[in-house]
Amino acid sequence: MRGWKPAPHVLLLLPAFVVLAAVVIVPLLLSLYSSFTPFRLTRPETIYEFIGLRNYIRLFADREFWAAFGRTVLLLTVALNVEMVLGLFLALLVEKATRGQRLLRTIMMFPMMFSPILVGFQFKFMFNDNIGLVNNALQSLGLTDQAIPWLIDGKLAFTSILIAEVWSSTSVFAIFILAGLMAMPKEPLEAAKVDGCTPWQSFRYVTWPFIMPFAYIAMTIRSLDIARAYDIVKIMTDGGPAKRTEILWTLISRTAYSDARMGLANAMAYVAILLSILFTVMFFRQLAKARQQIGAEW
């Protein structure tokens, strides 16, 4: 080691670089590399076999993968829209509260405090066709005399998952939009009233443009959330019945650990990440535009 005298700043930063490399960069590169191999957990030596883009080419022809991909995008789109609308309503209601607003805000965040696994179990129980609360309630109210197969029918299962997602995360939108409403200057609203706006017009032309950036922040966060959704689906249906609720990450984990095809799973994961990046870029663009529109100084 004689003669090698690194500058102090290099020396001081070195531990951080070593740790980062060990926990982030090496696994990332390794997983990227393994996506170019037919690596199977059961046959470790396959990691040294380089097969180029064959995994990716195979994916492009894989119906099951694209079905999961499409289902993820569908879940994402529907959930974001429903959460946006419900969150907006919640935020508007809570903002109107003159007393106990703090308490309401806290209550509103309760669903976010539960682990998604628990939310999954809770809704799995509620939607159970035999003993579940939902069927029980529907039957007691006389709305139906049948046991609706919530988690067994493909479409209903998807809806049930959607409901669980929306229940657990609408408050993300509500909180962000409420923050926007509370940060909003009141004078433009008064000016709008004087300018002749009905309450709806005030909302449409003044309030809405102002809270849009806040909604986009929530959308960015939630799109990343749903693009990597796993736990609720894993618990409620595990991708079933007959893979009708299979989404990207349940498929990826099945491929990686049940089928032990790690190479292929990593290839899927990289495509899935592209999806997330795509949505993030899209929402950030919208956010920047909306911010510029309202002349935000943040």
Partner 1 sequence: MATVSLKNLVKKYGSLEVVHAINLDVADREFVALVGPSGCGKSTTLRMIAGLEPISGGHIHIGDRAVNDLPPRQRNISMVFQSYAIYPHMTVAENMGFSLKIAGRSQQEIASAVADAARTLGLEELLERRPSQLSGGQRQRVAMGRAIVRHPDVFLFDEPLSNLDAKLRMQMRTEIKKLHAKVQSTMIYVTHDQVEAMTLADRIVIMRDGHIEQVGPPEEVFRRPATRFVAGFIGSPTMNLRDATVDDGRLRFANGDTLPLPGQFRNRVTAGQKVIFGLRPDDLYPTGHGIHSGEAADVHAVEVPVSLTEPLGNETLVFAEFAGDDWISRMLNPQPLRSGDRVELSFDLSQSHLFDANTEKSLRG
Q: Kindly state whether residue 295 participates in binding partner 1, applying the rule CB under 8 A.
A: yes
- Of residues 17, 125, 205, 257, which one binds partner 1 by CB under 8 A? 205
- Of residues 111, 154, 188, 241, which one binds partner 1 by CB under 8 A? 188
Task: Give yes or no for a contact between 134 and 159, defined as CB atoms under 8 angstroms apart.
Answer: no
d(C-alpha 171, C-alpha 178), whole Å: 10
CB closer to partner 1, 163 vs 197: 197
- Of residues 193, 244, 260, 282, which one binds partner 1 by CB under 8 A? 193
Footprint (CB under 8 A) of partner 1, residues 257-286: none
- Of residues 19, 113, 117, 195, which one binds partner 1 by CB under 8 A? 195
Contacts with partner 1 by CB under 8 A: the residue count is 20
CB closer to partner 1, 194 vs 242: 194
Part of the chain binding partner 1 (CB under 8 A), chosen from 35-43, 91-99, 199-207, 271-279: 199-207
Residues paired with residue 43 on neighbouring β-strands, in sequence order: 40
CB closer to partner 1, 192 vs 256: 192
Footprint (CB under 8 A) of partner 1, residues 147-186: 185
d(C-alpha 294, C-alpha 142), whole Å: 51
Part of the chain binding partner 1 (CB under 8 A), chosen from 66-74, 115-123, 172-180, 190-198: 190-198
d(C-alpha 129, C-alpha 151), whole Å: 8
- Of residues 19, 85, 198, 281, which one binds partner 1 by CB under 8 A? 198
Residue with tokens 């433009």: 188
The binding site for partner 1 (CB under 8 A) comprises 185, 187-188, 190-198, 201, 205-206, 209-210, 293-295
